[in-house]
Structure 1
């Protein structure tokens, strides 16, 4: 952690994954703060930003990274790949190549958008257990997305030496925003779902605007390190389905995992059994709040309710 941090104002932002839900919102958020925003993307970029053609795993074109640049790395395979080796090469090795490019060009700050899943498999309990940044899980099961996020975190921190580039790792809970559409959110809005121990499996829903404010607060406060970003509460899967107006059936973990694997092999589902778990690891954002003064404006239940009603 940078003990002598000084407040800075980010002017040139380079974002990967800006064609995705979170990256696209972050790009627009920085634009609204009068920053110059460049998007490294294989497809379209948000209006008002400069688009540079690029894909994770390739070298960044010359001239994109400058000394005053803040790199925000959002690009990652969230939906499950059917080729795990290719996903590792793209997500893990590609992220490390991007970081090395940033170091060679002496960018000001590198922000890696990680995930609560980097803490490994979730606990099952009648109450959520809030985990801090220093906690490390040795249990990932078959959850390759979790492993890849954790691998990138560990490698970035190991490479973070005496150079001048500041490293920030942000570890958010499940981010929800306008028009977000991924397999997890769609499953939670289904009329009937199956889930192991729905009253003892927990999630935190984070408003994407709160996440954007958290990112800005860390970048512009001049600090570095690992920060978890989450609301101060959590809700269980039964409550999630109650809010969305659906019904959830309690099934054993092994049965739910087997059913998901079969559906995935038949291409009837976008995710396999390795996504079946007792919810997400539940995060404490006390470090972030104490360091920067950031506070979440909405709790998990409010965020999910507003999302289901189309308000966010």
Structure 2
């Protein structure tokens, strides 16, 4: 049994990870900004310091984790209202991450698992699934901050001997999902016509429980030390396929209009939404072969089962009746 500290433990992935760690018999501490009543069996530690300032001084006596899994972050948003988005991302995702690593090392942690993002590498795959060796070319402040946090941690590990593990997930979904994935479900559930019937760009996804299982493996497997891993559900759907699958599980068939992608890009340019349209019409596939080969990890939940569970949650929370059709 290991003692593991999870930052951002009351988020979508953090909750799933805490459940997975408890099932495996690990001692779990949670570093959160506000208390979460349903984290049963987890010892919570509240620290509200901005960007983890004062963390080392506030670290509770007796909390000596073997490993820290760092999920807390300033996340990507479509319309960032911060006066200086890049500075805000750096403050939390780079400087804050290093504060957590330093504090953890001072308390005896030997491993630090950093949950980065595939956006630290690229926004599209250029025809070849992105592997850990793909030269990074982040295109926005969020991706840039995650990439720079990775580099800072690798250097920190070299300087101190702390084991660093970097995990780069693609789009994460599951019960309780928010942001873009929830918007897609809302559109399908409301029967809104979507001009995406001809979009065949494929996107990798990862279900929350699959990502949590991979993070557990990265936190405890000796061969994970000082490596970077990409994690996916191992099945890439086109945008149209994903919307149809969601419609099937929501019992609300997706209304897809067959509009050529080039026309969508033209419309996006005219509307000032080129970035959003590019994300919908370009492929972003992830090569997750390294984690299979190095750690023997395979996603325990299929993509279909993950989508079904997510849709079941959505139906129960949005008052949608009826059973999905296979």
TM-score, normalization by structure 2? 0.77
Distance 2:166 2:275 in 1: 28
Hey, what does 1:253 align to over in structure 2?
Answer: 265
Q: Any idea what SS the aligned residue of 2:158 has? A: coil
Hey, what does 1:59 align to over in structure 2?
Answer: 54
Q: Any idea what SS the aligned residue of 2:160 has? A: coil
TM-superposition CA deviations, 1:166-189 (whole Å, max 9, x none): 111111222222x22211111221
Hey, what does 1:268 align to over in structure 2?
Answer: none
1:28 aligns with 2:19: yes
**What value does the CA root-mean-square deviation take over the aligned residues?**
2.9
1:49 aligns with 2:49: no
Distance 2:270 2:213 in 1: 40
Q: Is the Cα contact below 8 Å between 1:124 and 1:201 reproduced in 2? A: no
1:136, distance to aligned residue in structure 2 (A): 1.8
**Deviation larger for 277-286 or 36-45:** 277-286
Larger fraction in helix: 2
Q: Any idea what SS the aligned residue of 1:122 has? A: coil
Residue 184 to residue 48, structure 1, CA distance change in 2 (3 Å): same
Q: Is the Cα contact below 8 Å between 1:16 and 1:74 reproduced in 2? A: yes
Residue 134 to residue 124, structure 1, CA distance change in 2 (3 Å): closer
1:239, distance to aligned residue in structure 2 (A): 0.8
1:95, distance to aligned residue in structure 2 (A): 1.1
Q: Is the Cα contact below 8 Å between 1:39 and 1:51 reproduced in 2? A: yes
TM-superposition CA deviations, 1:114-168 (whole Å, max 9, x none): 122221121366xxx3221111232x33x22222221211211122215342111
1:294 aligns with 2:297: yes
Distance 2:11 2:24 in 1: 20
Q: How many residues align?
A: 287
Q: Any idea what SS the aligned residue of 1:161 has? A: helix
**Deviation larger for 20-29 or 277-286:** 277-286
Q: Any idea what SS the aligned residue of 2:219 has? A: helix
1:288, distance to aligned residue in structure 2 (A): 0.7
Q: Which runs of 5+ in 2 are unaligned?
A: 248-253, 316-326
Hey, what does 2:320 align to over in structure 1?
Answer: none
Q: Is the Cα contact below 8 Å between 1:198 and 1:237 reproduced in 2? A: no
1:301, distance to aligned residue in structure 2 (A): 4.5
Q: Is the Cα contact below 8 Å between 1:257 and 1:274 reproduced in 2? A: no
Residue 248 to residue 37, structure 1, CA distance change in 2 (3 Å): same
1:23, distance to aligned residue in structure 2 (A): 0.9
1:40, distance to aligned residue in structure 2 (A): 1.1
Give the structure with higher Rg (CA). Answer: 2
1:181 aligns with 2:174: no
**Deviation larger for 49-58 or 244-253:** 244-253
